[in-house]
């Protein structure tokens, strides 16, 4: 070893923590593990050493989620069947970290950043913490560029900016995953990061092979935390995916982050909150749920290096758009896309209700001609929707209203514009050209 290398190594010696902090499991109550010690902070990762060293996995990872007097409250990342009273608890003194790099593209990972096909991680990766602070409000560049997602209804009527955060609101079975797959395959972003949180185990492979496909996976990193995994793993899946997206944003890339669904992240946080003794608030959701949502969602968007454009799906119980999580998320994000079950039942896919959806940045990033055409089509579509019952029962007579007559004429054309086959990839230029042509034909 050269003298220069030896000198460099000596710089790190004072930083090395040569002490290990231990405690012991006192009891297990439901999802929680209570331990006498070790000295630790909220969010620190701990290793619980099982008493039976002959077991295949002799260490269980857990995270500090709270304290009760001298008791440390832990929640495990895996099942707790083999934990017994007196097991040694070792604090690592740091929060969860994952490895990130270009070599992860095309991989499917778990919430800990490990490939779920049991393969080894590639070399040349960088270690990052899963929990980061959002960019400073004054360092965020304004969003001035459009980002094509390859879906006509969005590119034309709900134009998204590069770095915008949008919610996709829908009940179950209305086509959220299919829409995400279309966006992932068709978008002009440099890279996709997709978080599948709380999904059925069957749906993970189906989404990757059917909705995403080999073409989409070739420029995508998938993080999956299925519904059978502990609540902490489901939450960490969301934070891990966000940290991966942040890493590539800091490299100057334009990243597309898609999370399905943020509702299941909130449900997982509710489980943890209730387990540690938080009082239930709105519809059983604990206060920590409404604290964690802005912490997670505000991490995306633009910073001085690059941009993360984010789509978050939100499950609405009984198609109730005003339920607590939907209402909270809608207030944080920069727009919302509503998938309508009535449109899906009619066979209109993607089932985007453009009258109930809004992009808060479209007026700033769309050209005046594009914006005017979109507004005109929205007016015609609204007029038809408002008068549809009268039209269907034959109570409306042609010639009574020029506006309604135009709406009746253009309704099939607008519906045909909003429809799109799952396999179609239509450029934003073609979409806007078709929209302007349609809008100018429906002018006064």
For 333-358, write each residue's pLDDT tens digit: 999 999 998 888 888 889 999 999 99
CB 83 within 8 A of CB 33: yes
Residue 441 has pLDDT above 80, yes or no: no
Q: Sorting pLDDT into bands at 50, 70 and 90, what band is 430?
A: very high
Q: What are phi and psi of 60, to 5 degrees?
A: -115, 130
pLDDT higher for 214 or 13?
214
Residue 307 has pLDDT above 90, yes or no: yes
CA atoms within 13 A on the CB side of 26: 13
Residue with more model confidence, 202 or 309: 309
Over residues 417-429, mean pLDDT: 89
For residue 221, the model assigns a pLDDT of 96
Looking at residue 424, what is its pLDDT?
Answer: 86
- Predicted pLDDT at 68: 84
pLDDT for residue 78: 84
Please give the distance of CA 53 from its chain centroid, rounded to a whole number: 39
Calculate what percentage of the chain has a pLDDT beyond 70: 93
Which residues have CB under 8 Å from 159's CB, separation 6+? 146, 359, 361, 362, 365, 366, 370, 374
What is the reported pTM? 0.89
Contacts of 213 (CB under 8 A, 6+ apart): 181, 185
Residues in the chain: 444
Which pair of structure tokens corresponds to residue 158? 């709900």
| Residue 62 CB coordination number (10 Å) | 27
For residue 6, what are the CA distances in angstroms to 1, 9, 13, 70, 145?
7, 5, 11, 43, 50
- Nearest to residue 147, comparing CAs of 257, 287, 243, 35? 257
Q: Tell me, what's the pLDDT at 215?
A: 85
Burial of residue 71 (CB within 10 Å: 0-12, 13-18, 19+) is: middle
- Residues paired with residue 220 on neighbouring β-strands, in sequence order: 192
Place of tokens 């800091």: 250
Closest by Cα among 350, 346, 340, 345 to 171: 340
- Which residue, 330, 248, 270, 323, is CA-closest to 297? 330
Q: What is the pLDDT of residue 173?
A: 80
Query: CB neighbours (10 Å) of residue 27?
Result: 11
Quote the pLDDT of residue 444.
Answer: 47
Lowest mean pLDDT among 52-61, 213-222, 266-275: 52-61
Q: Does pLDDT of 156 surpass 90? A: yes
The mean pLDDT of the chain is 88
Is the pLDDT reported for residue 5 higher than 60? no
Residue 131 CA to residue 240 CA, distance in Å, equals 8
d(CA 401, CA 403): 5
Mean of pLDDT values over 188-211: 89
The pLDDT value recorded for residue 81 is 76
pLDDT tens sequence across 22-53 = 899 998 887 789 999 888 899 899 999 987 65
Question: What are the b/e assignments for 290-299, b being 16+ CB within 10 Å?
Answer: bebbeebbbb
Rounded to the nearest 10 degrees, what angle do helices 287-297 and 231-250 cross at?
20
3-state secondary structure of 203: helix
C-alpha count within 13 angstroms, C-beta hemisphere, residue 187: 33
């Amino acid at each position: 070893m050269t003298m220069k290398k030896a000198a460099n190594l000596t710089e790190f010696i004072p930083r090395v923590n040569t002490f290990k902090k231990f405690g012991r499991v006192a009891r297990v109550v439901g999802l929680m593990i209570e331990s006498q010690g070790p000295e630790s902070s909220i969010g620190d990762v701990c290793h619980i050493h099982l008493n039976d060293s002959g077991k295949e996995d002799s260490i269980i990872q857990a995270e500090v989620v709270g304290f009760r007097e001298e008791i440390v409250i832990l929640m495990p990342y895996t099942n707790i069947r083999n934990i017994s009273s007196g097991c040694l608890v070792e604090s690592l003194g740091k929060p969860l970290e994952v490895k990130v790099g270009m070599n992860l593209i095309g991989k499917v990972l778990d919430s800990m950043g490990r490939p779920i096909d049991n393969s080894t991680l590639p070399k040349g990766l960088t270690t990052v913490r899963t929990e980061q602070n959002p960019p400073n409000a004054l360092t965020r560049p304004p969003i001035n560029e459009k980002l094509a997602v390859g879906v006509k209804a969005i590119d034309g009527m709900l134009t998204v900016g590069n770095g915008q955060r949008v919610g996709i609101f829908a009940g179950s079975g209305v086509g959220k995953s299919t829409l995400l797959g279309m966006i992932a395959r068709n978008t002009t972003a440099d890279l996709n990061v997709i978080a599948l949180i709380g999904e059925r185990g069957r749906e993970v492979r189906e989404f990757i092979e059917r909705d995403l496909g080999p073409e989409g996976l070739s420029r995508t990193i998938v993080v999956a935390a299925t519904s059978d995994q502990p609540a902490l793993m489901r939450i960490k899946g969301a934070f891990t995916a966000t940290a991966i997206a942040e890493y590539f944003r800091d490299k100057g890339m334009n990243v597309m982050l898609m999370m399905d669904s943020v509702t299941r992240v909130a449900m997982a946080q509710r489980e943890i909150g209730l387990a540690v003794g938080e009082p239930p608030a709105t519809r059983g959701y604990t206060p920590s749920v409404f604290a964690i949502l802005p912490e997670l969602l505000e991490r995306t968007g633009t910073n001085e290096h690059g941009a993360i454009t984010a789509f978050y799906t939100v499950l609405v119980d009984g198609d109730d758009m005003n339920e607590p999580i939907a209402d909270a998320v809608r207030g944080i994000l920069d727009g919302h896309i509503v998938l309508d079950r009535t449109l899906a039942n009619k066979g209109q896919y993607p089932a985007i209700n453009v009258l109930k959806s809004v992009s808060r940045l479209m007026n700033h990033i769309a050209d005046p001609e594009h914006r005017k055409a979109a507004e005109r089509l929205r007016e015609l579509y609204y007029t038809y929707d408002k008068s549809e019952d009268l039209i269907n029962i034959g109570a409306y007579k042609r010639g009574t209203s020029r506006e309604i007559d135009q709406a009746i004429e253009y309704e099939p054309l607008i519906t045909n514009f909003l429809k799109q086959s799952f396999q179609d990839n239509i450029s934003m230029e073609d979409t806007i050209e078709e929209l302007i042509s349609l809008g100018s034909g429906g002018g006064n």
